[in-house]
Amino acid sequence: MKKILASSLVVASLFATSLSATEFTLDKTHTNVGFKIKHLQISNVSGNFKDYEGLIDFDEASKSFNKIQATIKVASVDTDNQTRDNHLQQDDFFKAKKYPDMTFVMKSYKKVSDTEGKVTGTLTIAGVKKDITLDAEIGGIGEQRGTKKLGFSLSGMIKRSDFKFAKDTSTITLSDEIKLQIDIEANAK
């Protein structure tokens, strides 16, 4: 009898959690997929991507992510310099003709508090897959014109050497570390 009661409570808990989960899609007007890398060890070059899609499953009751998936078109990179952006499409960087998309698929979310956590997932750049962990900061849930909205940020650091990205470029010219700053506003589906 105790096993049946315990099983029933687990099922009820899972059902209640799924009732408070909501799927969201990215609001591109209020989202920025940005990065920063040090050039010549003295200054930062910043950029972002303009074309991307994402799906988020967020549980409002537990304030946790069940799913974060994103696809980013590498041809949409924008560093405010067209010559550099064109060079980034070449085979020594993104290999855009062969690999037009970068992807991120969340594997787990570790909640630190109601507003902070760690997102671990697989990032794929130019055919190279690597698990990374990003810091999550949850801004919260709001509503605008009858649409439920979720705001959060992801930040962290990756190494270009882990992705064989610009492997022939020295770390004096271009830092191995790339800082990511992704600010998201998403609309409930």
Tell me the average pLDDT across 162-166: 89
> Could you write out the three-class secondary structure of 83-122?
HHHHHHCCCCCCCCCCCCEEEEEEEEEEECCCCEEEEEEE
Measured between its terminal Cα atoms, the distance across the chain in Å is: 41
| pLDDT tens track for 104-143 | 999 999 999 999 999 999 999 999 999 999 999 999 999 8
| Three-state secondary structure call for residue 155 | strand
Query: Rounded to two decimals, what is the model's pTM?
Result: 0.85
Length of the chain: 189
What domains sit in the chain, N to C, each tagged with a CATH number?
Answer: 22-188 (2.40.128.110)
How far is 165 from 162, CA to CA, in rounded Å? 8
Torsion from C-alpha of 40, 45, 51, 54, nearest 10 degrees: 90
Q: Is the pLDDT score of 167 beyond 90?
A: no
